[in-house]
A and B are shown apart, each in its own frame.
Chain A
Amino acid sequence: EPEVTQTPSHQVTQMGQEVILRCVPISNHLYFYWYRQILGQKVEFLVSFYNNEISEKSEIFDDQFSVERPDGSNFTLKIRSTKLEDSAMYFCASSSVGGYTFGSGTRLTVV
């Protein structure tokens, strides 16, 4: 079964540092997403990406965040100047017709 792969599985960073979370979506999927889940809370949509551009973003996805598809396989989320409240599980997802496949997530801890 095809998988969405995320690296790293855990990332600890100091407040103010930049982090890049990486994802390899399923190869024939065209739509890519980032979601986050703060511990004990709902899964929240951050951004969707299609045809090499952002198709939709949430209020959370401000100038601190950016996404990129640097090559034909990777999809990255960059968080600049991390804050304590950015600590969460970040999920990448991709979709085709009928259902989204989520990666196993990157747990980001900002200290």
Chain B
Amino acid sequence: GQQVMQIPQYQHVQEGEDFTTYCNSSTTLSNIQWYKQRPGGHPVFLIQLVKSGEVKKQKRLTFQFGEAKKNSSLHITATQTTDVGTYFCPNAGGTSYGKLTFGQGTILTVHP
């Protein structure tokens, strides 16, 4: 089945620094979704990317889907302490309704 690997596992930044996390798949993805989970919280859907080369922005967050639809990135500009949490790109198995298979995600710590 599809394997989606995410790096880095941990990232510590100073407030104001940028942050990027990457997801890489061994096979072509039909779509990729990004979620954020605050410490002690629940996963929150951020975005879904569907088109090859797609770039979407949400305020300081920029999401990118690779041309080959095998990789994706989430970039946060000028991190704030509210960005703390774990960012996931779970494997959706090529569907919009199937199970999500979560990896360990990228744990972001922001030092004030």
Chain A residues in contact with chain B, CB under 8 A? 31, 33, 35, 42-45, 48, 50, 56, 58, 89, 91, 95, 97-105
Contact = CB atoms under 8 A, between A and B. Distances in A.
Determine chain B's interface SS by DSSP, over half rule: loop
Contact of A104 (B42, B45, B102): B42
A36 B44 CA distance: 15
Contacts of B101: 45
B43 A102 contact: yes
Interface in B57-110: 88, 90, 96-104
| Contact size range, B | 20 to 34
Interface of B: 33, 37, 41-45, 47-48, 88, 90, 96-104
25 contacts: A42-B103, A42-B104, A43-B37, A43-B43, A43-B88, A43-B90, A43-B100, A45-B99, A45-B102, A48-B98, A50-B97, A56-B98, A89-B42, A91-B42, A91-B43, A95-B97, A98-B48, A98-B96, A99-B45, A99-B48, A100-B43, A100-B45, A102-B43, A103-B42, A105-B42
